[in-house]
Amino acid sequence: MNLSSKTELPWTPRYTQKSDEVPSDDPLEYWALALTITFTVLVYAFEGYLDGRQKRAYQVTTFPSQLSTTVTKIDAQHDEQTALLPQLQEKFSSSQNYGLDKISFAMISSAYDTFETIVFLLLGFLPYTWDKSVDVSHQYFGWTLEDEIKISLVFLAIITMVGTITSLPFEIYSTFFIEKKHGFNKQTPALFVTDKLKGLLLTFVIGGPFVALLLKIIKWGGTHFYLYAWAFMFVFSVIMMTLVPVLIMPMFNKYEPLVDGSLKTQIYALADRLEYPLTKLFVMDGSKRSSHSNAFMFGFGNNKRIVLFDTLLEQVHDDEILAILGHELGHWKLGHTLTNFVTTQVYFGAAFFFFSQCYTADALYAAFGFNDASKPIPTIIALLLFFQTLWAPVDKMLSFLLTVHSRHCEFAADTFSVNLGFSQQLQSGLTKIHLENLGAMCPDHWYSIYHYSHPPLVERLSAMMALDRKTK
């Protein structure tokens, strides 16, 4: 194909910084936009196929036989009044309907996101928004292109507000229609708005200085800026891991010490047994937003903390909470928490290194409308386009590999809790949580492999039962 005919193809944004600029003969400029859109469509088609499989799985009306057989074995260890299988069978239809509503809505949301992405690319949304940011910054603040970092913050503010507005209808429907319909949402409209405003405020207060410093480091760092950017991301990650639970999370939820009693004593005893330096034990008022339940840990060094959702305390017994915490502590004891942190840092290092190799690829930016050779490419634009184009396939593959790794870690943490002597309690506890959260009882195999960071319930229960048989 003759590259001189490239202007005849529909792979040039409608808005470009310089409409009369003659396209170069660089294949990257010619193909970058087309390949990005093609990749976006392929990902949408593949994930849509998996969504369709999951939707059909939610339309099944027969209770899954494997789950029935597995839970029957759990019930054999308990009296008839607390049997779990009848409860699961009773809520099977509700679970299927909940999942069907969620996957149907997710398919609509995904279709819109893909449509928006492609339209924005073809219209030249990024170069148009950047040029308008330059105009606004000059008109109201007197900034010029020499003030690139300041203009970048204006640009990101506009992008953030546009993203917030376009995603808001989907968030409202998910929260106040789907979650409310199935009895999970406890959030009032006032609380929803307050949370959204707090989130935006934190985005600007924390995200603004973060982006400004990152851009400054990239500009200052020379050819090896990726090393300095990597170090900055490491420090920022550590700071945020320290500050988020202490300063930011309390802005959204109330954390109160777990009342003195048998459960508190047993949790501290379990922590001592595993040499986990537990300093504080909290209960979080998760019920003010949702009836979903959870538990998590955080902290550095010898200052570890455990948080239990108040909904979790209502849904399971104390011995089951201990088993669940045995699982969570297993993640810590087996090094999963540290491994995930190290993996994240390696990801940042690799991403910044490859970005440094493409930083001066003007043809890439020209393909998306930044084709005015007289203007330097803004660093924030270079970052956004790199992650949206060249890095996107890598990111997709790494995301899948991390999902696979996460599932492996979940099995390992289950095994850890079983080895602590909590097998029966963990099996019943997980089943109850699954029951109360209307979790999927017969998920599609390929959908779960691609999307689930936790293995399906029946796989986890079967694995624990296999361990029990080996120890007998």
Catalytic residues: 328, 414
**CB-based contacts of 244: which residues, under 8 Å, 6+ apart?**
none
DSSP code, position 80: G
In a 3-state reduction of DSSP, which class is residue 116? Answer: helix
Among 368, 360, 371, CA closest to 21: 371
Dist. CA 6–CA 24, nearest whole Å: 10
Distances (CA, A) of 310 to 175, 283, 284, 438: 20, 6, 6, 18
Chain centroid to CA 91: 28
**Quick one: tokens of 416?**
């850890």
The torsion angle over the Cα atoms of residues 210, 216, 219 and 222, rounded to 10 degrees, is -90
Q: Is the dihedral of CA 431, 434, 437, 438 positive or negative?
A: negative
The Cα diameter of the chain in Å comes to 80
Distances (CA, A) of 355 to 152, 229, 231, 286: 18, 11, 15, 40
b or e along 348-372 (b: 16 or more beta carbons within 10 Å of the residue's beta carbon)? bbebbeebbebbebbbbbbbbbbbb
Contact present, 378 and 130 (Cβ < 8 Å): yes
Among 383, 385, 380, CA closest to 368: 385
Q: How many CA atoms lie within 13 A of 233 on its CB side?
A: 20
What residue type is 284 in one-letter code?
Answer: M
Dist. CA 402–CA 214, nearest whole Å: 26
DSSP string, 159-225: HHHHHHHHHHHHHHHIIIIIIHHTT-B---HHHHHHHHHHHHHHIIIIIHHHHHHHHHHHHHSGGGH
- Long-range contacts of residues 135-144, Cβ cutoff 8 Å, at least 24 apart: none
